[in-house]
Chain A
Amino acid sequence: MLKVEDLNVFYGDIQVLHEVSIEVREGEIVAILGVNAAGKTTLLNTIAGLTKKWNGTMTWMGQPLHRVPAFRRVEMGIVLVPEGRQLFPFMTVLENLELGAYSKAARREKERSLEFVFQLLPKLYERRHQLAGSLSGGEQQMVAIGRGLMAKPKLLMLDEPTLGLAPKIVHDVFQLIQDIRKSGVTILLVEQNMHQSLQVADRGYVLENGRVTISGSSEALLRNPTIREAYLGI
Chain B
Amino acid sequence: MLLQLTVSGILLGGIYALIAVGLTLIFGVMRIVNFTHGDLVMLGMYLTYLLYKGFGLDPYISLFIVPLALFLIGVLIQKLVVQRVVGRPHEVQIFATVGLSMMLSNAVLAYFKGDYRSVQTTYSTDTIQIGPVFLGVPQIVAFGISAVITLVLFLFLKFTYTGKAIRATTQNRISATLMGIDVRRVYTMTFAIGSALAGIAAVLLMPLYPTYPSIGEAYLLIAFVVVVLGGLGSIPGALVGALIIGVVETVSAYYLGSGWKQAAYFVIFILVLIMRPQGLFGQRGAEQL
Contacts and interface: CB of A to CB of B under 8 A. Distances in A.
Are chains A and B native binding partners rather than an unrelated pairing? yes
Contacts of B168: 88, 91, 99
A91 B167 contact: yes
Interface of A: 48-50, 69-72, 74-75, 79-80, 82, 86-91, 95, 98-100, 102-103, 106-107, 147, 151
B143 to A, nearest CB: 29
A44 to B, nearest CB: 11
B172 A86 contact: yes
A142 to B, nearest CB: 16
A87 B175 contact: yes
User: Which 3 pairs, one residue from A and one from B, show the smallest C-beta to C-beta distance?
Assistant: A103-B180, A74-B180, A88-B171
A168 to B, nearest CB: 27
A72 B178 CA distance: 9
14 contacts: A49-B177, A70-B178, A71-B177, A71-B181, A71-B182, A71-B183, A72-B180, A82-B175, A86-B175, A89-B172, A90-B167, A90-B171, A102-B179, A102-B180
Contact of B178 (A79, A95, A98, A106): A79
A151 B176 CA distance: 12
Interface string B278-289: 000000000111
B175 A74 contact: no
B179 A74 contact: yes
A79 to B, nearest CB: 7
A82 B178 contact: yes
B187 to A, nearest CB: 13
Contacts of A107: 161
B165 interface: yes
A70 B178 CA distance: 7
Contact of A99 (B179, B182, B288, B289): B179
A111 B168 CA distance: 20
B174 interface: yes
Contacts of A99: 164-165, 168, 176, 179, 181
A88 B288 CA distance: 10
Nearest to B283: A90
Given A95-B164, A98-B164, A99-B164, A89 B180 contact: no
B81 to A, nearest CB: 22
A151 B177 CA distance: 12
A91 B164 CA distance: 10
A71 B174 CA distance: 10
B179 A82 contact: no
B177 to A, nearest CB: 5
Contacts of B178: 48, 50, 70, 74, 79-80, 82, 86
Contacts of A90: 167, 171, 287-289
Contacts of B165: 99, 102
Residue among B172, B288, B289 with max Cβ neighbours from chain A (10 Å): B172
B108 to A, nearest CB: 38
A106 to B, nearest CB: 7
A89 B168 CA distance: 9
A46 to B, nearest CB: 13
A82 B174 CA distance: 9
Nearest to A100: B179
Interface string B148-170: 00000000000001001101100
A71 B180 contact: yes
A50 B167 contact: no
A106 B180 contact: yes
B179 A91 contact: no
